[in-house]
């Protein structure tokens, strides 16, 4: 999967652009989307607590991979949304899922040895969508491009909101 920073920046770019058109997408929700974009990366918990350790402790087969799938994103976003105030929860859940799905799509574009993007749609299906083999996460150019585009969006957004409400700054 792409690195977390790229995930976050892509989510930021897409939903900041969306906020120019859609009223409900405000900066406070863009940051929630950015948080949601990190959900697929939660599978890296394995670095801290290896699934084999969990298996040994519980006697059950175990994998963190569902974090990087649709089902995992939906459930994890639900749990995270509960941390929000009551009146925000539904919307928070929606934006968290949106961010997570954004990252899943980004991950689906990367290079894959078997040409498949992996079980992104689990548990709906084990079928992996074909991957366009666009990039390799470890390639710094990926982040470089993302950073530049995100910076452009950031500047444009600043300029735009300054024009909109005449805020100093």
Partner 1 sequence: MRDRDSVVRVKRPRTEANPLVGDVVEERGLVVGEFPVVREHEHRVLGHRSVDDGVAVLVELDDGALVGEPVERRREPEPVQGDTGAGLDRLVTDSLPPLVECPPDQGRSRALVRVQPADGPTVEDDGKLVTEHEVDTDVLAEVVGEKERGRDTPTEDVEAAGAAGEVVERELRGRRGVVPDDDELAHTRHSSGRGLHLSDRTETPNRHAGPPDDVQGRRLLLGFVLVAALSGLFVHYGASADSHQRYPSNGEIATAYEDHVGETVQITGVVRSPTANGSGEGSDTANGSDGTNATMTIVLRGFGSFGTLTVRGADRTAASGGTVQVIGTLETDRTVTAERVLPVNPHSWSEPYKYAVSVVGAVLILVAFFHEWRVDTGSLAFEVREDG
Distance separating alpha carbons of residues 118 and 107, to the nearest angstrom: 9
Q: How many CB atoms lie within 10 A of CB 19?
A: 19
Binding mask 43-82 for partner 1 (x = CB under 8 A): -x--x--xxx--x----xxxxxxx--x-xx--xx-xx--x
Query: Per rule CB under 8 A, is residue 88 in the interface with partner 1?
Result: yes
Number of residues that bind partner 1 (CB under 8 A): 56
Q: Are 25 and 15 in contact (CB under 8 A)?
A: yes
Binding mask 92-131 for partner 1 (x = CB under 8 A): x------------------xxxx----x--xx--x-----
Please, what is the minimum distance in Å from the beta carbon of residue 17 to partner 1? 16
List Cα–Cα distances, 133 to 4, 19, 84, 122, 138, in angstroms. Answer: 19, 30, 37, 20, 14
Please, what is the minimum distance in Å from the beta carbon of residue 55 to partner 1? 7
Q: Looking at beta carbons only, is 63 or 156 nearer to partner 1? A: 63
Please, what is the minimum distance in Å from the beta carbon of residue 140 to partner 1? 7
Which of these segments, 14-22, 138-146, 151-159, 161-169, binds partner 1 (CB under 8 A)?
Answer: 138-146
Distance separating alpha carbons of residues 9 and 148, to the nearest angstrom: 10
Distance separating alpha carbons of residues 48 and 42, to the nearest angstrom: 11
Distance separating alpha carbons of residues 34 and 95, to the nearest angstrom: 9
Contact with partner 1 (CB under 8 A) among 31, 105, 121, 145: 31
Q: Are 79 and 100 in contact (CB under 8 A)?
A: no
Distance separating alpha carbons of residues 96 and 125, to the nearest angstrom: 22
Interface residue list for partner 1 (CB under 8 A): 3-9, 12, 27-28, 31-32, 34-35, 38, 41, 44, 47, 50-52, 55, 60-66, 69, 71-72, 75-76, 78-79, 82-86, 88, 92, 111-114, 119, 122-123, 126, 136-138, 140, 143
């Amino acid at each position: 999967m792409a690195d977390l920073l790229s995930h976050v920046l892509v989510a930021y770019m897409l939903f900041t652009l969306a906020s120019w058109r859609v009223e409900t997408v405000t900066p406070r929700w863009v940051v929630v989307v950015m948080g949601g974009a990190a959900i697929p990366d939660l599978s890296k918990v394995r670095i801290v607590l290896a699934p084999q350790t969990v298996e040994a402790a519980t006697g059950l087969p175990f994998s963190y991979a569902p974090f990087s799938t649709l089902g995992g994103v939906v459930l994890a976003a639900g749990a995270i949304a509960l941390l929000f105030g009551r009146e925000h929860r539904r919307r928070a859940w929606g934006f968290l899922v949106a961010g997570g799905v954004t990252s899943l799509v980004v991950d689906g574009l990367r290079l894959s040895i078997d040409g498949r993007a992996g079980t992104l749609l689990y548990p709906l299906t084990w079928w992996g969508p074909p991957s366009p083999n666009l990039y390799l996460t470890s390639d710094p150019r990926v982040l470089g491009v993302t950073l530049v585009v995100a910076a452009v969006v950031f500047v444009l957004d600043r300029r735009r909101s300054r024009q909109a409400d005449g805020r100093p700054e």
